[in-house]
Amino acid sequence: MPKVSTTMNTRLSHFLFLFISHSRNIFAPHHYHIVQAPKMHAAIVNAWGSPPTYTTVPDLPAPSQSQIRLRVLAAGIHRLVLSRASGKHYTSTTLPHNPGVDGVGEDPTTGQRYYFASLQFGSFSEFVNIERHFVAKLPDNADPVTAAAFMNPIMSSWMAISARAAPQKPGFTVAILGATSASGRVAVDVVRSKGAGRVIGIARNEAALAEMPLDERIVLKPETDWSKLGEVDVVLDYLYGDAAAGMLKALPKSEREVQYIHIGSVSRDETMMLPGAILRGKRVALRGAGPGSWTMEEYAKELGGMVEIAAKLERKGVTVEAFKDVESAWGKARVGGDRIVFVSDDIAKSA
């Protein structure tokens, strides 16, 4: 057998040492780096009628030139949000569903806060990309929680007056059916800002009506006394059903055309038995106000004015919950209870 020289043996050992060392570096686990797509948190409804689940979802694409990316600070559970999440609202789309229709967000690059509308894509996410014409700057002194809680109720009456009612002269008279609801309460501020001179509140809760800044109060009963109603220019109807039919019957005949605008059904009564003779015998224009009856372009034009109203409101009847607790806190939202607003962790700590 040929002998291997000491020099060759040394070189072979050195080669094997380098090979083994290099192999260890190549195959060492810490040299494998699996790139994962960035993710963010969001609340997702996976079954109609079930509470949302707080989970991770893929991050958003970069905003387009017409969009702005906002970090969501606060978003409210409005009746519209609950209805859409149940799958029963006419604007409900498909599952999985991101609830929320609006909120308050912050531009991460500037710190500027905005109110934003996001009916199509939802608002219960860590970040949102929003078309710039659907955002409005929030005044520096505005409370993001209050704005998130009440911008949707403000919208209901503001858009009814701005987009669905005929133009009114200063000092016009408004009757609010369902005045003690959250939307009915802020409607008083809205119609005053629009020039109303006489505001009539109509509801079942006599004590709550007494606390409101109204010119007249009518308490709904099995036999309602409508004697204080008088001539009316605009009716904002949050109840519908029997209460709405009773009011239409009670409207006096007049040369003034009444703008009767149906906005919601707090009473959960979606049908109304109305004799045709009432429509033939009185100057009444029946309309609805909600997404679809006005366009999103009309809505975008009105955002600034609505934000001004929201900035002046006090935070009353609002419960703050962290976004991460959305599943357990979802059930707290109920008709007549506090408005529930979900907030980011930093807002939750200061709320």
* 51 three-class SS: coil
CATH topology of 39-138+317-350 equal to that of 154-288? no
Superfamily of domain 39-138+317-350: Medium-chain alcohol dehydrogenases, catalytic domain (3.90.180.10)
Helix (H) or strand (E) holding 260: strand 258-262
pLDDT single digits (tens) 244-277: 999 999 999 999 999 999 999 887 778 889 899 9
Q: Which CATH class is domain 154-288?
A: alpha beta
Radius of gyration of the chain (CA): 29
For strands 113-117 and 102-106, give the pairing.
antiparallel
| pLDDT tens-place string over residues 159-218 | 999 999 999 999 999 999 999 998 999 999 999 999 999 999 999 999 999 999 999 999
Instruction: Read off φ and ψ for residue 216, nearest 5 degrees.
Output: -140, 150
As a whole number of angstroms, the distance between CA 310 and CA 306 comes to: 6
Cα separation, 248 vs 106, in Å, equals 45
**Cα separation of 133 and 131, whole Å?**
6
pTM: 0.82
- Give the whole-angstrom CA distance, residue 225 versus residue 228: 8
The residue length of the chain stands at 351
Looking from the CA of 338 toward its CB, the CA atoms found within 13 Å total 16
Show me where the domains of the chain are located: 39-138+317-350, 154-288
Residue at token pair 């709320």: 351
Q: What is the pLDDT along the chain (351 residues), one digit of tens a residue?
A: 445 454 444 454 544 444 444 444 444 444 445 545 578 999 999 999 899 999 999 999 999 999 999 999 999 999 889 888 988 887 777 899 899 999 999 999 999 999 999 988 899 999 999 999 999 999 998 999 999 999 999 999 999 999 999 999 999 999 999 999 989 999 999 999 999 999 999 999 999 999 999 999 999 999 999 999 999 999 999 999 999 999 999 999 999 999 999 999 887 778 889 899 999 999 999 999 998 899 999 999 999 999 999 999 999 999 999 999 999 999 887 666 789 999 999 999 887
